[in-house]
């Protein structure tokens, strides 16, 4: 992200991913599928890529990778909440308890780290936390949208269309916020890897997972993010990890695992009629 800024980083990420995915989609013969569903797949790109990527890039300028990754693990919470209100998937007793526990973990994490005191980049930890949670909300909305409107659409079409939609949406902002100083070669290599591997390839797998396992289970991949992100932050960036952060992470993971139905509390299971 160093060298581009949050908006240009997010824009280049999806533009590069589009450049990789579009030829692949056409070679696989999915042009007709894209033409049939182009409005819906472009829109999901704005919700699932454009807005969240900008939010995450902004957040990482104001909070640590570890804090951001812990907050990102709340995606299944928002996914379950959105599916409840939009798709009518009312959570069971255990899932409802999981929602409460998960959001309590968010509040506990924010209570120690949130501050509106400006940092050298002009932001604050409170705005960084808010941006991370907005990204999670967008992911939750996009998962339910995909399930409702893009069922049966090939995952490659959804992945390609979403990145094209995000690219079209972010391109004007990218030009407006383009850095005055030319980014380094290292910055270009980093954003290229982000676009090809972490976006283009990842979203093919993500949309296929939604189609086969459903949005709730697909979003549970965020459980693994804090483990790797905190480790990378410590090893590569020298970030510190507090006991409070780890404790809040455990609370959030407990809540998300309950809310997504990975496991349930025995005393809240409905009793079978004799």
pLDDT of residue 147: 82
Q: How many CB atoms lie within 10 A of CB 188?
A: 14
pLDDT of residue 11: 93
pLDDT of residue 1: 43
pLDDT of residue 214: 64
Half-sphere exposure of 115 (CA within 13 A, CB side): 8
240-257 burial by CB neighbour count: b if 16+ within 10 A, else e?
A: eeeeebeebbebbbbbbb
pLDDT of residue 224: 61
pTM reported for the whole predicted model:
0.78
Note every long-range contact of 176-184, with CB atoms under 8 Å and residues 24 or more positions apart, other chains counting. Answer: 176/7, 177/5, 177/7, 177/8, 178/8, 179/3, 179/4, 179/5, 179/8, 181/3, 183/3, 183/4, 184/3
pLDDT of residue 102: 77
pLDDT along the chain (274 residues), means of 10: 79 92 91 94 94 91 80 79 79 74 76 59 75 91 87 86 95 91 85 84 74 61 63 68 77 74 61 49
């Amino acid at each position: 992200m160093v060298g581009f800024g949050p908006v240009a980083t997010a824009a280049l990420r999806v533009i590069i991913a589009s450049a990789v995915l579009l030829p692949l989609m056409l070679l696989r013969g999915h042009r007709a599928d894209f033409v049939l569903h182009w409005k819906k797949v472009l829109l999901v790109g704005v919700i699932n890529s454009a807005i969240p990527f900008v939010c995450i890039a902004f957040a990482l300028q104001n909070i640590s990778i570890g804090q951001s990754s812990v907050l990102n693990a709340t995606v299944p919470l928002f996914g379950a909440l959105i599916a409840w209100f939009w798709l009518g998937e009312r959570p069971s007793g255990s899932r409802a308890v999981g929602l409460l526990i998960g959001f309590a973990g968010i509040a506990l994490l924010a209570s120690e780290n949130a501050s509106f005191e400006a940092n050298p980049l002009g932001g604050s930890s409170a705005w960084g936390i808010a941006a991370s949670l907005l990204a999670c909300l967008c992911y939750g909305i996009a998962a339910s949208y995909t399930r409702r409107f893009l069922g049966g659409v090939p995952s490659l079409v959804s992945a390609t269309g979403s990145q094209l939609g995000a690219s079209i949406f972010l391109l004007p902002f990218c030009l407006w916020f383009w850095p005055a100083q030319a980014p380094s070669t290292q910055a270009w290599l980093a954003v290229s890897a982000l676009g090809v591997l972490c976006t283009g390839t990842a979203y093919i797998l993500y949309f296929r997972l939604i189609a086969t396992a459903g949005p709730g289970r697909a979003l549970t991949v965020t459980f693994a993010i804090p483990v790797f992100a905190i480790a990378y932050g410590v090893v590569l960036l020298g970030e510190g990890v507090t006991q409070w952060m780890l404790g809040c992470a455990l609370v959030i993971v407990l809540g998300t695992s309950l809310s997504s139905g990975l496991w349930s509390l025995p005393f809240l299971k409905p009793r079978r009629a004799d």
